[in-house]
Amino acid sequence: MSELKHGFRINTEMCQGRMHCMRACPTRAIRVKNGKAHLISELCIDCGLCLTVCPTGAIAATTLTFAELDRFKFKVAVASPALFAQFGMSDTPESVGRALLELGFDAVWEYSVDIELIDRAIAACVKKWPGPFPLISNSCPVVVRLVQVAYPSMVEQLIPVDAPREIAARELKRRYSQELGIAAEDIAAIYITPCLAKTISILQPAEEEKSHLDGAVGISQIYNDILYKLRTGLTRENASRKFSFSGEMFHWGAPEGEFPSLSREHYLPLTGLTDIIKVFDDIEKGKLRNIEFLECHACQGGCVGGNLTVENLYVARSKNLRLVANMPRSVSKFEEEVQRRYAIEDFSLRRSLKPRKIEGETGDLRGRVLRRKKAEELLKALPMLNCGLCGAPTCKSHAEDVAASRAEIGDCIFLSPDRIVHLRALYLDHQDTK
């Protein structure tokens, strides 16, 4: 497997080792060693919780800059539906689209057709799926990576249907290449993303195939620029540009976005990693028997609550509901286009998803068994207080780290009094440098 990329970076100079990130991480991917946070790359699912809890701002998202887009001849914004819920009630999707043109994009792709296509593909897949159930949506990259890392036996239950943003990027490159007579590789499909996870799903898709998208720009990164354009006015050329945004596009930006084509009694929407993990635990125990499809969003409230959004979640949710209710619905031309493309498109993933290889879980069977037995023996010597002062989030994690040669058993303060002296010196040093 190639080196794993992630949608954020840790600035060790700013890090003060306060352990907020380590405690928040749902897959125990962060350790704090010598007063600095460090990442166990293969355990990270890019949920962004570390970014939101870091008190010093040492963890920051990595996205594209506009300067990096200059190598393309034609730049197309594929905006998440969540973008349009970030502004005032009087700021229409059309005005936000025109503001994107003002920022340097050559076009804005309105992808309600792509969303409708994937809705129908999901419904068809659920109907003919032989089992096991429930199928799990893969539109949230965090959920996909959570299954790959923590629930490998459930990987085959991730629905093998591509995300609308990928289908949109493939189609826009095909269409603009034909219309403009330029090569598809000279056309940039840039996703305006509500979360850092979608950034990394473009740079390094979970199925290990190249994305049709060429990068992502965070909503928070361009929010102020868009707002400025909305308040100061647009150029005459862009002010006259027409868009065909429709209500079908906006239901995908919130929970139950994939519901319209599915039967409610066999469908369960979930938001927030804590609740998703609880339900996944129940699936592993065989408790969920009457659900056919889980729509899962790692961010509370769905994409409108992503970690790269700006607006208050509940205000954004209200705006999104209004857009769904008040935007025009599909017309005959829309339906004709859906029918045409549904008959000829392939909506399946480019490659099947596999569990992620984890350090300590690789190698031959004998080696894995020996490591687990060693971790179990080491755990007996630990106090089970999960204080985190060893640099691992739990005593079990510390035992596993020692068994995998990532740590020393003496890092536990109860087994090495010198550890307390060392930690005290580290944190006093942090205080002195403030």
Per-residue pLDDT, 143: 94
Residues facing 267 on adjacent strands: 293
Contact 341, 121 (CB under 8 A): no
Count other Cβ atoms within 10 Å, centred on residue 264. Answer: 8
Residue 354 lies in a domain: no
- Amino acid residing at 352: S
Cα–Cα distance measured from residue 358 to residue 380, given in angstroms and rounded to the nearest whole number: 24
Alpha-carbon distance of 216 to 308, in angstroms, equals: 11
Query: Cα–Cα distance between 307 and 70 in angstroms, integer?
Result: 27
359 has a pLDDT exceeding 90: no
pLDDT at res. 340: 92
Residue, of 169 and 35, whose pLDDT is higher: 169
Q: How many domains does the chain have?
A: 3
Residue 434 has pLDDT above 70, yes or no: no
Residues 6+ apart with CB under 8 A from 397: 28
From 72-81, 124-133, 362-371, the region with the lowest mean pLDDT: 362-371
Residue 247 has pLDDT above 80, yes or no: no
pLDDT at 59 exceeding the cut of 80: yes
- Look at 46-50, 124-128, 286-290, 429-433 and tell me which has the smallest mean pLDDT: 429-433
Which CATH number fits the domain that encloses residue 30? 3.30.70.20
| Residue 162 · residue 347 · CB < 8 Å | yes
DSSP string, 160-192: -B--HHHHHHHHHHHHHHHHHT--GGGEEEEEE
Complete DSSP assignment for 40-72: -GGG-----HHHHH-TT--EEE----GGGGTT-
Examine the domain organization and report whether 302 and 432 are in the same domain: no
**Token pair 């509901």 is at which residue?**
321
Which of left, alpha, beta for 19 (phi over 0: left; psi -120 to 50: alpha)?
A: left
| 335 and 410 assigned to the same domain | no
Answer yes or no: is pLDDT of 365 > 70: no
274 within a domain of the structure (yes/no)? yes
Do residue 125 and residue 248 come from a single domain?
yes
Helix (H, G, I), strand (E, B) or coil at 3: coil
Amino acid at 377: E
> Which residues have a Cβ under 8 Å from the Cβ of 40 and sit 6 or more positions away?
28, 29, 30, 31, 359, 406
Domain boundary residue among 25, 47, 62? 62
**Gap between the Cα atoms of 167 and 147, Å rounded:** 23
| Nearest partner of 245 among 90, 87, 92, judged by Cα | 92
Which residues span the domain enclosing 16? Answer: 1-62
Predicted confidence at residue 404, as pLDDT, reads 84
Mean pLDDT calculated for residue range 361-369? 64
Whether the pLDDT of residue 51 is over 70: the answer is: yes
Task: Label residue 106 by pLDDT band (50, 70, 90).
Answer: very high
**Does 283 fall in a domain?**
yes
Please check whether residues 106 and 29 belong to one and the same domain: no
Which one, of 262, 274, 299, lies nearest residue 82 by Cα?
299
Surface-to-core class of residue 34, CB atoms within 10 Å of its CB (0-12 exposed, 13-18 middle, 19+ buried) = exposed
Answer yes or no: do 293 and 177 share one domain. Answer: yes
Same domain, 231 and 166: yes
Percent of the chain topping pLDDT 70: 91
Shared domain for 380 and 322, answered yes or no, is no
Q: pLDDT for 107-137, tens place per residue?
A: 999 888 899 899 889 888 988 998 788 999 9
What pLDDT is attached to residue 4? 79
H helices of 304-408, in order, are: 313-326, 332-344, 365-380, 395-403
Question: Do both 305 and 415 map to the same domain?
Answer: no
Last residue of some domain: 286, 313, 344? 344
Question: Mean pLDDT: which of 200-204, 262-266, 315-319, 349-353 is highest?
Answer: 315-319
Q: Answer yes or no: is 352 within a domain.
A: no
Tell whether 262 and 140 lie within a shared domain.
yes
The answer as to whether 357 is a domain residue is: no
Residue 166 lies in a domain: yes
- The last residue of one of the domains, among 309, 344, 379, is 344
Query: Angle between the 273-284 and 141-150 helix axes, to the nearest 10 degrees?
Result: 40
Amino acid 388: pLDDT: 87
One-letter amino acid for residue 156 of the chain: E
Buried b (16+ CB within 10 A) or exposed e, 158-191: bbbbbbbbbbbbbbbbeebbeeeeeeeeebbbbb
Q: If you ran DSSP here, which 8-state letter would residue 10 be given? A: E
Are the CB atoms for 102 and 229 separated by under 8 Å? yes
- In which band, very low, low, confident or very high, does the pLDDT at 362 lie, cut at 50, 70 and 90? low
pLDDT of residue 262: 65
The answer to whether residue 429 scores a pLDDT higher than 70 is no
Asked whether residue 379 is domain-assigned, the answer is: yes
- Judge if 6 and 76 occupy the same domain: no
Q: In terms of residues, how long is the chain?
A: 434
pLDDT above 90 for 157 = yes
In a shared domain, residues 74 and 28: no
Q: Is residue 3 part of a domain?
A: yes
Q: What is the pTM of this model?
A: 0.86
In angstroms, the Cα distances linking 335 to 76, 108, 135, 345 are: 24, 21, 27, 15
Can you give the CATH number for the domain in which 422 is found? 1.10.15.40
- Alpha-helical regions (H) of 65-153: 93-102, 112-128, 141-150
Lowest mean pLDDT among 31-45, 57-71, 336-350, 420-434: 420-434
pLDDT attached to residue 358: 74
Whether the Cβ atoms of residue 136 and residue 296 lie closer than 8 Å to each other: yes
Q: 427: part of which helix (H) or strand (E)?
A: helix 418-432
**Comparing 38-42, 327-331, 399-403, which segment has the lowest mean pLDDT?**
327-331
- Report the number of secondary-structure helices (H) and strands (E) in the chain: 16, 11
Asked if residue 193 and residue 50 are part of one domain, the reply reads no
**Mean pLDDT of the chain, nearest integer:** 86
